[in-house]
A = this chain, B = another copy of it.
Amino acid sequence: MDKTINIAVLGGDARYLEMIKNLSKSSITEIQLVGFDQLNQGFTGVKQVNLDDLKLETLDAIILPIPGTNNEGVIETVFSNRKIQLTEGWFKQLSTNCLVFSGITNSYLSNCVNEAGLKLFPLMNRNDVAIYNSIPTVEGTIMIAIQNTDFTIHSAKVVVLGLGRVGLSTASKFSALGAKVSVGSKKKEDFARSKEMGLEAFHIDKLSSYSFDCDILINTVPALVVTDESIKPMKSHALIIDLASNPGGVDFAYAKKRGIKALHSLGLPGIVAPKTAGEILGIVIEQILNEEFQGRSI
């Protein structure tokens, strides 16, 4: 059964262009764009419409920007000056089968979706998306490390804190470039994985014993782990890169006081590789649509 899948993309940034391109390749998707009126480029078979033009009850999926909505339901529209606000009433006009995609969610969005009996997919919470995104995140981190040091990554002593989805990719690629990587973690499984990767591992509580002679310290743990105590013994040429979500895991005030350069680097995929970041979203949304609309292969 080859029913068309009607998708509305509401707002978004440069990453969404590649995602739209990917999704529009399928012959059974019909895509309408809202909030792209200042976009110079067109997509074959994709229509630009106003919010009011959407026939909400016919939509199979809506794709909101990565940040979802703000607390008043306003969405980010990089390619439009028009304000787009989605009310609880608006969500209730959607069919209950309509899937709602966003990057992250907040209480406003979650509440609207719940009240309307809809299914929300906050893509950035998914393991697969986080792992795919770790690729451009690591390349951004490599770029930052090269730009902000006067030595090579090769032979540098690099400490990576956390061996989760981003930490694993970071440790792996810095090691591949010839850095001497040590991994700080609390988890026994991370010690095992580090060993398997040929990397030294240590308990994060002992960070000071590793930070004192490291050249680059990369944190991926979203909790205050890079404390004044671990920053204090660091060499003045050392660089700290914090990849953990806000508020990060580094005592930035102390690092500044101590004269150690510390950068909180967020949103790297959208900065260094918007095309790849968009492709990732396109691929994952396509997979979810396939699963949710089984039999209607897109």
List chain A positions with a Cβ less than 8 A from chain B.
Answer: 14, 135-136, 139-140, 142-143, 146-147, 149-155, 173, 176-178, 272-276
In the complex, the answer to whether B173 meets A135 with C-beta atoms within 8 Å is no
12 contacts between A and B (CB under 8 A): A135-B154, A136-B152, A139-B153, A140-B146, A143-B147, A146-B273, A150-B274, A150-B275, A151-B275, A151-B276, A152-B273, A173-B176
Cα–Cα, bound, A147→B143 (Å) = 8
| Residues in B whose Cβ lies below 8 Å from that of A146 | 139-140, 142-143, 272-273
Query: Could you tell me the distance in whole angstroms from the C-beta of A215 to the nearest C-beta in chain B?
Result: 10
Cα–Cα, bound, A5→B165 (Å) = 54
Q: For A152, A155, A273, which residue has the most chain B Cβ atoms within 10 angstroms?
A: A152
In the complex, the answer to whether A273 meets B140 with C-beta atoms within 8 Å is no
Beyond A139-B146, A142-B177, A143-B147: 16 further Cβ-contacts under 8 Å? A135-B154, A135-B178, A136-B152, A139-B153, A139-B177, A140-B146, A142-B142, A143-B143, A146-B272, A149-B273, A150-B273, A150-B274, A150-B275, A150-B276, A152-B273, A173-B176
| Residues in B whose Cβ lies below 8 Å from that of A274 | 150
Query: Could you tell me the distance in whole angstroms from the C-beta of A216 to the nearest C-beta in chain B?
Result: 13
Contact check: which of B139, B143, B149 meets A154 at CB < 8 Å?
A: B139
Cα–Cα, bound, A153→B147 (Å) = 17
Give the nearest-CB partner of A278 in chain B: B150
| Residues in B whose Cβ lies below 8 Å from that of A142 | 142-143, 146, 177
Cα–Cα, bound, A176→B174 (Å) = 10
Give the nearest-CB partner of A14 in chain B: B150
| Residues in B whose Cβ lies below 8 Å from that of A152 | 135-136, 139, 272-273, 276
Query: Could you tell me the distance in whole angstroms from the C-beta of A113 to the nearest C-beta in chain B?
Result: 32
Give the nearest-CB partner of A150 in chain B: B275
Q: For A139, A149, A150, which residue has the most chain B Cβ atoms within 10 angstroms?
A: A150
Cα–Cα, bound, A173→B173 (Å) = 10
Q: Which 7 A-B pairs have the closest CB atoms?
A: A176-B176, A150-B275, A143-B146, A152-B276, A151-B275, A152-B273, A135-B154
| Residues in B whose Cβ lies below 8 Å from that of A151 | 273, 275-276
Cα–Cα, bound, A146→B274 (Å) = 11
| Residues in B whose Cβ lies below 8 Å from that of A273 | 146, 149-152
| Residues in B whose Cβ lies below 8 Å from that of A147 | 143, 272
Query: Could you tell me the distance in whole angstroms from the C-beta of A136 to the nearest C-beta in chain B?
Result: 5
Cα–Cα, bound, A155→B280 (Å) = 12
Query: Could you tell me the distance in whole angstroms from the C-beta of A254 to the nearest C-beta in chain B?
Result: 25
| Residues in B whose Cβ lies below 8 Å from that of A149 | 273
Cα–Cα, bound, A143→B135 (Å) = 15
Give the nearest-CB partner of A17 in chain B: B150
